[in-house]
Amino acid sequence: MNFTIHILGTASALPTTSRYPSAHIVDVRGRLFMIDCGEGAQIQIRKAGISFLRIEHICLSHIHGDHIFGIFGLLSTMGLLGRKSPLNIFAPPEFGPILKFFKTQFGEGLLFDINFTSLEMTEPELVYENRRTELLAFPLNHRVNTFGFLIREKVPQRNVKKDAIEKYDLSLSEIGTLKRGEDVVRENDDHGSLVIKNEDVTYYRYLPRSYAYCSDTAPLNELKDWVKGVDLLYHEATFPAEMQEMAEKTFHSTTLQAAQVAKDAAVKKLIVGHYSSRFPSVDFFLDEIQTIFPDVTLAHDGDVIEL
């Protein structure tokens, strides 16, 4: 029951010798979601040992080059590998003409359908779900139309404890009631009613996990509510605190602003990335962030995080 995040790139506008542009792969129980697809994403996918053909969904936060310049190559490679299964792409409406150009100029011979979902919401909306997982998108605060993503497991059905089934001689109907999260009430004329409390006799097989991706964005008041309580928040920290004026000008976030979102949203863990190329080392970012939110990790290309 894996929930794994592969960090493929942590650079902002300019790649460096140690940082590729933005790209993540999120593996939820063997189903692969890709978030952003910067230049060189294919190389990083190869290094991570991930199959191109297993990627089912691609989420593009916005139409800036450092987040999409890898998409043409990736789609072409999927075609060369003989992909036949459909691919879902979730992106701002501005991606529509780009995708049309790709299909017109480079799409000959593709054996798979590309299903494009245009993101135009003003608050979190469910854009995809399967039996166990949900994908939500929500707006961010950047110079162009930009969206964040939340991938989370659905709350599983409750299981009934075996000893409770024997103790109360539960019927199939009563077991079904308990699995739905309800109490069982047995009426008895002689002794009144018996209430079998759901919380006493059931349990969850697992607790649902969640991951939120927020890049690129300036501070946004609603964001703390939209990512409330997630297990892991990836938030851009393009600049250190001393460069707040530059962050405001470019609609990005500083270390302290990313930390404040994590604190206000009461997330379990924060990971930051999308670093400015001005800083060969961002180790000092950690000290700044931990003044507000202690449980933070600096993302590095090639990191693998298990939830």
Q: Look up 287 and say whether it is catalytic.
A: no
Q: Which of 88, 28, 94 is nearest to 67 (CA)?
A: 94
Residue type for position 260: Q
Tokens found for residue 129? 């779900």
Catalytic residue from among 27, 36, 66, 301? 66
C-alpha distances (whole Å) from 269 to each of 1, 153, 227 are: 20, 17, 12
List Cβ neighbours of 280 (8 Å cut-off, separation of 6 or more).
Answer: 16, 18
Beta pairing class for 55-59 and 87-91: parallel
**What is the set of active-site residues?**
66
